């Protein structure tokens, strides 16, 4: 990665942080005129913010291709305790 690539990568990281996009689960690589962004984001809103940032990068740096594969993370399903089932008296159906 040369200085130009590192500058783009650092600027993208900083733009994401300033716009509230969590970069912990993203892989951002720049090389040979290609910006690759892969990973997941916790919300669809953050995904939209990332696209907005990438559109800005694309306008400012016309000679770089952006390749993006970022999806919203699947929300965790809360495990709810199951209430105990009432046992029916003999001969009765619940």
Q: What is the pLDDT of residue 20?
A: 92
To the nearest 10°, report the CA torsion of 79, 84, 85, 90: 160
Which helix (H) or strand (E) element contains residue 37?
Answer: strand 34-41
**Residue 74 — pLDDT band, cuts 50, 70, 90?**
low
Order the strands of the 34-41 sheet from edge to edge.
Answer: 26-31, 34-41, 65-72
Cα 42 off chain centre by = 6
Its pTM stands at 0.62
Integer angstrom CA distances of residue 67 from 33, 61, 76, 79 = 11, 14, 28, 37
- Per-residue pLDDT of 21-57, as tens digits, reads 998 888 888 887 788 888 888 888 998 899 888 887 7
| Residue 14, token pair as written in the block | 């900083």
- CATH architecture of residue range(s) 3-72: 2-Layer Sandwich (3.30)
Name the residue ranges covered by the structural domains of the chain. 3-72
């Amino acid at each position: 990665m040369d200085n130009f690539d590192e500058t783009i990568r650092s600027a993208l990281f900083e733009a994401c942080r300033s716009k509230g996009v969590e970069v912990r689960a993203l892989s951002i690589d720049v090389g040979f005129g290609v910006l690759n962004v892969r990973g997941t984001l916790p919300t669809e809103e953050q995904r939209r913010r990332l696209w907005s940032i990438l559109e800005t990068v694309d306008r400012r740096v016309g000679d770089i291709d952006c390749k993006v594969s970022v999806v919203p993370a699947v929300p965790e399903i809360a495990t709810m305790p199951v209430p105990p089932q009432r046992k029916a008296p003999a001969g009765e159906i619940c």
